[in-house]
Amino acid sequence: MPTALITGIAGQDGSYLAELLLHAGYRIIGTVRGPASASHERIDHLRGSIELTEANLLDQHSIEKMVEKYRPGEIYNFAASHPASSQSFRDPVLTGELNGIAVLRLLEAIRAIDPTIRFCQASSAQIFGNAHESPQNENTPFFPANPYSIAKLFAHWTTVSYRHTHGLFACSSILFNHESPRRPERFVTRKITHAVARIKTGLQKFLRLENLDARRDWGYAADYVRAMWLMLQAPVADDYVLGTGETHSVRDFCRIAFDHVGLDYRQYVTEDTESHQAEASVQLIGDAGKARTMLHWRHSLTFEELVRLMVDCDLASVAQQNTNRIDTLAASRAPT
């Protein structure tokens, strides 16, 4: 039975990868922040099938003990801080530690304990930053624009360096925006689909967004973790851009999401023009031609199908929350 270690398993990507690897017959070790016994909604349905452990990626000794104990054949690093540039500017040192130096610690542990371990670093399209060309591929120059993307670029080049210098099977996946029903609600895609569900059920009246014309390359998270698994099954380690090759606006997302429940987004969505941030002159669009050719990777969902999937899941979630509230209220009023 192959063993995989997934840092940040309780996040969107970690939970999808855990499901994929379980189906493939892996033993899975997942790292979480805080007690392993605590509830983590994205992976609670996997309890009993995976093993959870606390991990401090800021401590080299802790990482080495973990790698020595479990001796995984594959390590996927999804642990990271929030990608919002405003947050990374507020604490650039911690941002650098979590997104950059932690990767160096993991690679050092692999080199010291078992150099045969295969490693995948979840990088970010933000390392392209203010790119001078579009779309972006593996040969596009990097221009990171904030502490988060700078740290991610450090992690990317460290992964490349350990592959060439120490002979490790180390890969970097340069991920463009990837969404799902498990995306946190602070991201604009879930903010929209969650609001659609609440508006449709009468729990919310309006949705306020900053820039409806902002465009992103949005794909399906489950497809992207499958690509990262394929990277570690390949005969040669390499780096890959993962994206859809097309962009859509926030307005497009709103239109499809509201249409799916029979509503016109223009009646419910307002735009906060005062909070607009200037968009880069060159769009970030992922050219995943290399992944398609070398890994035979394909998308399973179109953009429209992804939006509708997210809306349907939020509708079901809101309905369940309403049922739970009604049951709780009825129980509180029941005669004793």
Give the residue from 159, 32, 155 showing the smallest Cα distance to 99.
155
Q: What is the CATH number of domain 188-215+248-282+302-330?
A: 3.90.25.10
Residue 170 backbone phi and psi in degrees, to 5: -125, 125
| Pairing assessment for the beta strands 215-216 and 248-249 based on DSSP bridges | antiparallel
pLDDT computed for residue 115 by the predictor: 98
Q: What separation in angstroms does the CA of 301 have from each of 109, 203, 295?
A: 37, 29, 18
Element (H, E) at 170: strand 169-175
pLDDT computed for residue 276 by the predictor: 60
Average pLDDT of the residues of the chain: 93
Q: What is the dihedral of CA 128, 129, 133, 134, to 10 degrees?
A: 80
Going from N- to C-terminal start, the domains of the chain cover 3-177+218-242, 188-215+248-282+302-330
Asked if 125 and 71 count as a contact pair (C-beta separation under 8 A), the reply is no
Q: What is the CATH number of domain 3-177+218-242?
A: 3.40.50.720
Residues of the chain predicted below pLDDT 50: none
pTM as predicted = 0.93
pLDDT computed for residue 90 by the predictor: 83
Give the residue from 264, 98, 101, 241 showing the smallest Cα distance to 174.
241
Asked if 99 and 77 count as a contact pair (C-beta separation under 8 A), the reply is no
